[in-house]
Structure 1
Amino acid sequence: MVQAVPFGSVELHLVSGVTLLREDAAVFEAMLEGWAAQQRGGRNLQAYTVGQRVHAVRRFQRFANAYPWEWSAAGFDEWMTDQVTVHQLVPSTIRNNQIAIRQFCDFLCSPHYGWADECERRFGSHPVQVCHEWNTRVHVQENEADPRRRPLTRQELQRLFDRADEEVETRLRAGRKGAASAYRDATLLKVIYAWGLRAREAIMLDTADYYRNPKLPDFGGFGFLRVRYGKASRGSPPKPRTVATVMPWAVDALADYVERVMPLMQGGQASALWWSERGTRLSQRSLNDRFAQLRDELGLDERLTPHCLRHSYATHLIEDGHDPVFVQRQLGHAYQSTTGIYTHVSEEFANRILKDALGRIPNLLPEGMEKQ
């Protein structure tokens, strides 16, 4: 039985016996093509993930001004220093770049694909692994987001919604264009918060994603939300989840938008929930820009993004007494520790829990926290 040639093999991406015009550049491109094929075909990774990794390898090659059979750990160290000190990239981006270079070097050094022998024959040298435990970042914690990002307080959240609603009224009174889009934006922000969504999850919603909850008929057709574009594991397709509706006021706001405003913006017969002024699905960039405008008008921290609404959702559900496991399921987290990252309860809530716990132990309730 003939052994099949593995995805990414040099035999599939370099034609033997052909003189290459720019041999070094041509071999490098063939390496990238082979690595991409190995990831897509052999490992079934998503095209976006593969593209990001290939892009990272290209950036390192340009920085080092050298090809993989010339790379060294010292050159990789210089690139990491540039990323940290000059470009000031966040830790997660730096780690992703390190992972890409490490896996690319592993691919080239593997005897299964033949690239090391090919480089030795053509250039008298071969690729080596330039990433090791001393020059790569160890993943020691699950959350590496900017600690200055936080959930909105209930007061800040109300101010945000009030300002978005005020813009609708202002445009209507002045007879200006854009009242419908302002109403759309106000509703979109409320939906992100009320169902604990990520920005892309919200942007990709269709009207058919909402459906009835038989146990809560008062919510009509908005009792459950099927999120189809949940955050994927690396290289995997989007992970869907079902979110139960828990905020009646959000149902009223969304139902009003769907009935009165969405038909004014809808393009054709498509079922997208959020439409741009051009009759196409609203972009995530438009959402980010609108949130940033409202945030700046209110004088909130410039590091806050639409994702803080999801943090606010998790925090407020916990403060309102919802079971942590329920909140975990609503957010679509595999582990409760991840939900804990999203939860930043207020001091008032923490003190209430503390007082309740200490109140069960005789003579341990501190002065100033008398039991009610």
Structure 2
Amino acid sequence: MVRPPALNFDINFVDISDTMLRRAIQIWHQKLYSERHLSPYTLVAYVHDLNAFLYFISVHQGDKPRLKDLADLKSGDFRAWLAYRTRKGMARSSTARAVSVVRGFFRFLDHEGLAHNVSISSVISPKKFYSTPKALAISEMKDLLERAGEPIMSKSPKWVYIRDVAVFSLLYGGGLRISEALNLNFNEFPLVPSPSGNNIIIKGKGDKQRLVPILPAVINAITDYIESCPYKLSEKSPLFIGVRGGRLNARVLQYRLQALRGYLGLPKEVTPHSLRHSFATHLLGAGGDLRTIQELLGHASLSSTQLYTDVDTERLMDVYGQAHPRASIKKAKI
């Protein structure tokens, strides 16, 4: 899988006029991408958090922030920022991430010799509440996959609904993150069944790789989509195409699932990521072992040299065959 290009740094950071601060932000942004291998989605979130912090400082101090001003910020300034976020009703998890981003930016400034702030270490991140991920019941999951192929609250072409079924089937059948599924190219997905099972190599967070077995039911759904897609897919084409012919945007699927959620009476917490949680929950509930599920979700790193030596594909497929609700379909339609 080709890593997407770095985001263009075309962001209005509270109309920063200080050249040194703007340049520092640009370097920080590029280092996050090139050294920490953050996804474009995570980069956008980090940039948003830093921008919001700098905006608060500009209002709090009554002037546009400068690099030397950041070095002079006191504990009271940081406390005022946290209090502001609390008054605005921002979630603890959101504030915890923002604190982490701002701390990281100040560490970067210190490491590069650009600014040293002694007060940043006094900033205490709020404790996060961890909630159990929302997983659908098997019956709910089956209803969702069936209804996804119907024109519910939408007038899109028929092939779009077939595509949505294919994407949702891959998220649930393979435990993929939505970004992982949408970043796949046509030549990376196996459409010819193999006697030993079909697998794809997924590059997840931090460019960590893992081997994911693909169920026949998923191959069926994706084959149906490819046959119905009006766009000709070449080797380097995105696997999942939007109505205008480009790579499918995650937001489209989020809106689609929102409509399905209302139609099926599912909780508002159900998102595309819930399909990944359902994958893990259903495997675990049916006897899948934690270590295998951990490997399938990509929570444990596998280097490229271990992909074909350390991963027991037959064992992974056995877990699928015995535990996954959609593993009962034996032949893929080509």
Give the structure-2-normalised TM-score.
Answer: 0.70
Look up the SS of the partner of 2:287 in the other structure.
Answer: coil
Query: Contact conserved, 1:187 with 1:254, CA < 8 A, in 2?
Result: yes
Instruction: Give yes or no for contact 1:206–1:272 (8 Å, CA) kept in 2.
Output: yes
**Which residue does 2:212 correspond to in 1?**
243
Deviation at 1:28, TM superposition (A): 3.3
Residue 76 (1) aligns with residue 78 (2): yes
- CA shift at 1:200, angstroms? 0.7
Deviation, structure 1 residue 155: 1.2
Work out whether 1:136 is the aligned partner of 2:125.
Answer: yes
Hey, what's the Cα distance between the residues in 1 that align with 2:183 and 2:274? 18
1:187 aligns with 2:166: yes
- Structure 2 distance, partners of 1:27, 1:95, is 27
Residue 37 (structure 1) shift? 6.7
Which of 287, 290, 293 is residue 327 of structure 1 equivalent to? 293
Which residue matches 1:206? 185
Write the distance in 1 (CA, Å) between the matches of 2:27 and 2:165.
Answer: 47
CA–CA separation in structure 1 for the residues paired with 2:99 and 2:55: 15
Identity of aligned residues (%): 25
Identify if the C-alpha distance between structure 1 residues 269 and 68 changes in structure 2 by more than 3 Å, giving closer, same or farther: same
CA contact (8 A) 1:153 1:312 kept: yes
Other-structure match for 1:158: 142
Q: 1:227 aligns with which of 170, 193, 202?
A: 202
SS of the residue aligned with 1:165?
coil
Following the alignment from structure 1 to structure 2, what is the Cα–Cα distance between the partners of residues 271 and 157? 29
Q: Higher relative CO (CA 8 A, sep ≥ 6), structure 1 or 2?
A: 2
Aligned mates of 1:27, 1:311 — CA distance in 2: 44
Question: C-alpha displacement at 1:52, in angstroms?
Answer: 5.3
Q: How far is 1:255 from its partner? A: 2.7
For the aligned residues, what is the CA RMSD?
3.4
Q: Give the aligned partner of residue 98 of structure 1.
A: 99
Counterpart Cα distance in 1 of 2:225 and 2:39: 36
In structure 1, what is the equivalent of residue 228 of structure 2? Answer: 261
Code of the residue aligned with 2:180 in structure 1: it is: E
Q: Following the alignment from structure 1 to structure 2, what is the Cα–Cα distance between the partners of residues 44 and 158?
A: 38
- Report which of the two structures shows the higher radius of gyration computed on alpha carbons: 1
Q: Which amino acid aligns with 1:309?
A: L
Give the unaligned 5+ runs of structure 1. 1-22, 117-126, 233-237, 336-348, 350-372
The answer to whether the aligner puts 1:62 opposite 2:31 as a matched pair is no
Say whether the 8 Å CA contact 1:102–1:130 is kept in structure 2.
Answer: no
CA distance in 2, matches of 1:50, 1:311: 24
Instruction: Return closer, same or farther for 1:80/1:159 CA change in 2, 3 Å cut-off.
Output: same
Q: How many Å apart are 1:332 and its aligned residue?
A: 1.1
Aligned-partner residue type, residue 227 of structure 1: I
Per-residue deviation, 1:194: 0.7
Q: 1:159/1:73 Cα in 2 relative to 1: closer, same or farther (>3 Å)?
A: same
1:267 positional shift: 6.0
Q: Which amino acid aligns with 1:73?
A: S
Alignment-mate amino acid for residue 216 of structure 2 = P
Cα distance change on mapping 1:63 and 1:181 into 2, 3 Å: same
Does the 8 A contact of 1:151 with 1:315 survive in 2?
yes
- Code of the aligned partner of 2:77: G
Change (3 A) 1:314 1:273: same
> Is the CA contact 1:199–1:284 (under 8 Å) kept in the aligned structure 2?
yes
The amino acid that maps onto 2:228 is V
The 2-side partners of 1:128 and 1:84 are apart by: 24
| Cα pair 2:182 2:249 within 8 Å, conserved | yes
Q: Structure 1 pair 178/64, CA: closer, same or farther in 2 (3 Å)?
A: same
Tell me, what secondary structure is at the counterpart of 1:287?
A: helix
Q: Given residue 162 of structure 1, which amino acid in structure 2 is its aligned partner?
A: E
Task: Give ranges in structure 2 of 5+ residues lacking alignment.
Answer: 1-15, 62-68, 302-322, 324-334
In the TM superposition, residue 150 of structure 1 has moved relative to its aligned partner by 0.8
Q: CA deviation at 1:83?
A: 1.9
